[in-house]
Amino acid sequence: MLNIIAGQLAPTTLSTFTVDYLVVAGGGGGGAYGGGGGAGGLRCTVTATGGGGALESSLTLLKATNYTVTVGGGGTGGIYNSVRLGTNGGNSIFNTITSAGGGGGSNFVGGSADVRGAAGGSGGGAGATDSNDGTGPRTGGAASPSGQGFAGGDTFGNLAGGCAGAGGGGAGVVGGSAITTRTPGNGGNGVATSITGSSVTYGGGGAGGNNTGGVGGTGGGGGTEVAGDVNTGGGGGSTNSASTGKSGGSGIIILRYPDTQTISFGAGVTGTESAASGGYKRATITAATAGTVSWS
């Protein structure tokens, strides 16, 4: 669009503003009698980000322009002695920022070859092993891409009586490895951010399983036999029985911007906008599939 100024044509400029963000993907599903699910990848511009890296850079956006948002769902749990991994969580997306879904935890599969946890924003934990089954150690899934979380924990092979399952990686810490027959690895802890004005932790890994309870990582990670918390990106816990692993928690997107701006949520986007505080408003988006947001 063009404006006429003093008899001349001049381009219209849309005002810009800066947005800080927290983008957390869905957590991976836990394995059955095996490894915990990895936390969803976490990218943030305030306080801390996932994977131990430097803070992300804020975005400069335009008013009256649509920006894509997707909140990743949690992965489903693996099935004992059948499906070899829990499924990965879904990616979360805000404009150009994508956080990768957490890796699924590995299942117990008796007598099988090495099965590692799945790679993801944070990696899934390695599965439990048979007694002296000849497979050697099983490794946790890698954090991939790097800079969003940590790898899942490992388990020992050829251990008399077998070995329990390992914990899924968290956004802030590697998943706990399992080194004994009965004690599973705990989920890796998540990352705390103050983007809302208060410190809240997201992205905890799920606990491994095998007869005794493991602890989920801080930030929504599921303990043994417990699903990851909704809208935290927490990994799902594994199980202590021949059943199905627990689901990961869904992700979340939180946006912080100047209080002179007002956000609009497009069709299919579930979100709320806070009152102005400290010069900012915050939008919390808890569900969206290829939806859009804009500001005025």
| pTM: predicted TM-score of the whole model, two decimal places | 0.93
At residue 6, the pLDDT reads: 43
Give pLDDT tens digits for 147-196: 999 999 998 866 667 788 999 999 999 999 998 777 899 999 999 999 99
Q: Is residue 76 part of a domain?
A: yes
Domain with 219, as residue range(s), is: 15-296
**For the residues of 130-158, what is the DSSP string, one character each?**
-TT-S---B-PPPBSSTTS--PPPPB-SS
CA end-to-end span of the chain, whole Å?
18
The predicted structure's pLDDT at residue 1: 36
Contact 36, 82 (CB under 8 A): no
Buried b (16+ CB within 10 A) or exposed e, 49-64: bbbeeeebeebebeee
- HSE (side-chain half, CA atoms, 13 Å) at 123: 28
- The per-residue DSSP string of 97-135 comes to EEEPPPPPPBPP-TTPPP-PPPPBSSPPPPPPB-TT-S-
- 66-92: per-residue pLDDT in tens? 999 999 999 999 988 777 789 999 999
The confidence score (pLDDT) of residue 30 equals 96
Give domain status of residue 142, yes or no: yes
Q: Please indicate, yes or no, if residue 7 is contained in any of the structural domains.
A: no
Asked, for residue 1, whether it belongs to a domain, the answer is: no
Name the residue type at position 165: G
Q: Which helix (H) or strand (E) holds 83?
A: none
Count of domains forming the chain: 1
Residue 81, burial from CB neighbour count under 10 angstroms (0-12, 13-18, 19+) = middle
Residue 192 β-bridge partners:
201
pLDDT along the chain (296 residues), means of 10: 39 77 98 94 98 96 97 94 88 98 87 75 89 70 96 82 89 93 92 98 95 91 97 96 92 98 97 97 97 97
The answer as to whether 9 is a domain residue is no
Say if 279 falls within a structural domain: yes
Residue pair 165/183 in contact (Cβ under 8 Å)? The answer is no
Contacting residues for 201 by C-beta, under 8 A, at least 6 apart? 189, 190, 191, 192, 193, 218, 219, 220
Is the residue at 132 inside a domain? yes
Question: C-alpha distances in angstroms, 94 versus 29, 42, 58, 70, 155?
Answer: 23, 12, 12, 7, 36
pLDDT computed for residue 164 by the predictor: 87
Token pair 């202590």 is found at 240
- Separation of alpha carbons 184 and 186, rounded Å: 7
Indicate whether 227 belongs to any domain. yes
Distance CA 81, CA 10 (A): 69
260 exposed, middle or buried (CB, 10 Å; 0-12, 13-18, 19+)? exposed
Please give the single-letter amino acid code of residue 8: Q
